[in-house]
Each structure stands twice: as structure tokens, then as C-alpha cells.
């Protein structure tokens, strides 16, 4: 686990938690990214807060790695395989629709509200993630 850094993980978790609280108090809505994204592209009464939130998801890491920590290497890599990325993206989109939200909505906002559905959904996300990594490592699938 050479990518794990407890200090940056703690700071990131605190920032995410504060962002969720700030978003809720500013808009009166939960900060589930799939819901915000869906509303941004499908809702006729487009809310500026949705666009601003999504813009922040893109611009935030760029600011961190280009201005605040310009000499820190980004070593995280998943895959370059379109055979994995395209079906994976489709399955994530399908799963968030089927599950009534994404990991951020269920894992951060839902668990914070003690929602049983969100606790079950998050446990399922984590279990399937662990199973997927285990299978890929056991069979050394490199597409």
C-alpha cells in the first residue's frame, strides 16, 4: 500500500465532511455527486450550485497539484485499458441509478444521516470493491 498516506487521508476526509455540511447549509440539499451531475445535465431549471460543485471537483485537484503542491508526483494509476474503463463506467452509472445514489451520496451523506439503506449500499460497494481487487490480483487480469 505505497499510495496510502494517513495524514493526507485525514485532511481529505475533513475537507470532504466540511464541504458536505457547507453544501447542505448553502443549498438545503445533500451532496451526492451522481444526483448533482444528473440535475446539472437534465434539469431544466439549472441550479448554479450544481455547476459550481462539479466545477470544484475538477478545479480543486488542479489547484492542489499545480499551485499548492507543484513538486509532488502523482503516482496513482488505475488502468489505461479502454476495455476496462468503458464497461466499468457504464456499470458505475447503471449501479448508481439502480442503487439510488453513488458512493459519496450513500457513504458520506447517507451514513451521516444514519440511513439503513445507505449503510447497506456502502457495505455492498466496499465488499464488491474488495472482491473485484481480489479477483484481478488472483488471475492477474491485465487488459
pTM of the model: 0.64
Question: How far is Cα 10 from Cα 115, in angstroms, rounded to an integer?
Answer: 24
Average pLDDT over residues 102-106: 81
Q: For residue range 8-55, list pLDDT tens digits in order.
A: 788 888 888 888 888 888 888 888 888 787 777 777 656 777 888 888
**Residue 127 predicted with pLDDT over 90:** yes
The last residue of one of the domains, among 39, 59, 77, is: 77
Question: How far is Cα 12 from Cα 14, in angstroms, rounded to an integer?
Answer: 5
**Residue 116 predicted with pLDDT over 90:** yes
Question: How far is Cα 138 from Cα 132, in angstroms, rounded to an integer?
Answer: 10
The last residue of one of the domains, among 77, 94, 116, is: 77
Q: Could you count the other beta carbons within 10 Å of the beta carbon of residue 129?
A: 11
Range of the structural domain that residue 137 is part of: 79-143
Amino acid at each position: 500500500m505505497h499510495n496510502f498516506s494517513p495524514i493526507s487521508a485525514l485532511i481529505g476526509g475533513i475537507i470532504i465532511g466540511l464541504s458536505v455540511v457547507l453544501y447542505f447549509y448553502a443549498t438545503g440539499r445533500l451532496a451526492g455527486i451522481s444526483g448533482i451531475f444528473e440535475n446539472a445535465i437534465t434539469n431544466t431549471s439549472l441550479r448554479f450550485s450544481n455547476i459550481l460543485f462539479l466545477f470544484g471537483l475538477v478545479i480543486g485537484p488542479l489547484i492542489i497539484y499545480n499551485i499548492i503542491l507543484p513538486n509532488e508526483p502523482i503516482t496513482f494509476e488505475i488502468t489505461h485499458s479502454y476495455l476496462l474503463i468503458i464497461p466499468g463506467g457504464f456499470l458505475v452509472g447503471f449501479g448508481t441509478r439502480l442503487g439510488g445514489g453513488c458512493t459519496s451520496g450513500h457513504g458520506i451523506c447517507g451514513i451521516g444521516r444514519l440511513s439503513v439503506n445507505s449503510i447497506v449500499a456502502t457495505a455492498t460497494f466496499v465488499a464488491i470493491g474488495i472482491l473485484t481487487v481480489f479477483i484481478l490480483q488472483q488471475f492477474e487480469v491485465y487488459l
